[in-house]
Structure 1
Amino acid sequence: MHPCRVLFICTGNSARSILSEATLNHVGKGRFEALSAGSQPSGRVHPAALEQLAALGMSTDGLASKSWDRFAQAGAPALDIVITVCDNAANETCPVLFGPFVKSHWGLPDPAATRDAEALGEAFRKAHALIIRRVTALLQLPVETMHRDELQQALDRIATITDDEATA
């Protein structure tokens, strides 16, 4: 498994999954290839997501809101890990995916749902801090040598990293 291909999925593929894709591609070069998609893609990447990534020097080239259907079609790239980042607490519908990949749910609130313009940037910084913490934990795993069950358990443990830990 080299590089380990990870698909991040959320509802609109405009914020959380985009931040996750760009972050893992930035820090996991060589070992990981990150992709993202949405169950109901918005058709655009949220400008605050692009601003957050640019502020940390992470590339935004090629980022686009797209449907997860493209990864279920014949000829789609083989996936090793699929991570949903929808927020079940907000009653978002996360897609049900079938395949030989390892699946985990790393739910987090949608910063794009923030309606207060002044709070929007902080919502994106907070969401991205949590994503960075979780991606950092993923990078520490020896995914190349882990058995499927071990990887599943490790990914599910990463999902329990909280906002408090992300900002500590």
Structure 2
Amino acid sequence: MSKSYNVLFLCHDNAGRSLMAEAMLNHLSHGKFHAYSAASQPALEAHPAAIDVLKKEGFDTQSLKPKSMQAFHGDNAPIMDIVISLCQNTTEDAEFTEWEDKPLTAHWHFDEPHNQDVHNSLDTDKDEYQKELHRYAMIQRQLSTRISLLLNIPDNKLDNMKLHH
């Protein structure tokens, strides 16, 4: 392997979809990509259903936590090669933020898998939690398909896309 590419997944609260994408790409890429995730307004904690789905599928969740986009700006921040927004609220963040090295940007839209009001009361509603597990499992399958496509882009094509962006 000649190069490792840094990928940042953005979502509005960095509590579910983007954390899942981070864990999945880091695990499946075997070092070809180093994935990160962030939000403009990060949640206080990861969504439990997203973490449970990842664990069930064998992904490491130990280091997953919501992070601010500010962590990816400045002198000590890793330089991003690719920035992918996963929800409509972050499309502009990916495309119009002043990224230091002009990364390739993309938008992979996924519907909101949870209701915030329900998220705050999951302990009391087990039926709703099962529905959320199902929705996050569907997101995991959809992410798996897109990540598989990303993993199969040859290095020379990735380098060429970056040069012409």
Equivalent-residue separation in structure 1 for 2:114 and 2:84 (angstroms)? 19
| Superposition deviation, residue 29 in structure 1 | 1.5
Assess, with a 3 A threshold, how the Cα gap between structure 1 residues 22 and 151 changes in structure 2: closer, same or farther.
Answer: farther
Letter in 2 for 1:120: E
Give the 5 Å matches for 1:76-155.
Answer: 76-86=77-87, 88=88, 92-94=89-91, 95=93, 96-99=96-99, 100-113=102-115, 115=118, 116-142=128-154, 144-146=155-157, 147-148=160-161
> Does the Cα contact within 8 Å between 1:43 and 1:66 map onto a contact in 2?
no
TM-score scaled by structure 2?
0.82
1:81-134 C-alpha deviation (Å, 9 max, x unpaired): 000001x3xxx3542323211011111112133743331111101111100110
> Does the Cα contact within 8 Å between 1:8 and 1:84 map onto a contact in 2?
yes
| Superposition deviation, residue 75 in structure 1 | 1.7
| Superposition deviation, residue 78 in structure 1 | 0.8
> Does the Cα contact within 8 Å between 1:9 and 1:37 map onto a contact in 2?
yes
Equivalent-residue separation in structure 2 for 1:27 and 1:151 (angstroms)? 27
Equivalent-residue separation in structure 1 for 2:62 and 2:40 (angstroms)? 22
Letter in 2 for 1:145: N
Indicate the larger mover: 92-101 or 129-138. Answer: 92-101
Work out the number of aligned pairs and report it: 147
More helix as a share of residues = 2
**Alignment match, 1:67:** 68
TM-score scaled by structure 1?
0.80
| Superposition deviation, residue 72 in structure 1 | 1.5
**% same residue:** 31
Letter in 2 for 1:43: L
| Superposition deviation, residue 71 in structure 1 | 0.5
Assess, with a 3 A threshold, how the Cα gap between structure 1 residues 8 and 93 changes in structure 2: closer, same or farther.
Answer: closer
Structure whose CA Rg is larger = 2
- CA RMSD in angstroms comes to 2.0
Q: Which consecutive unaligned segments of at least 5 residues does structure 1 have? A: 153-168
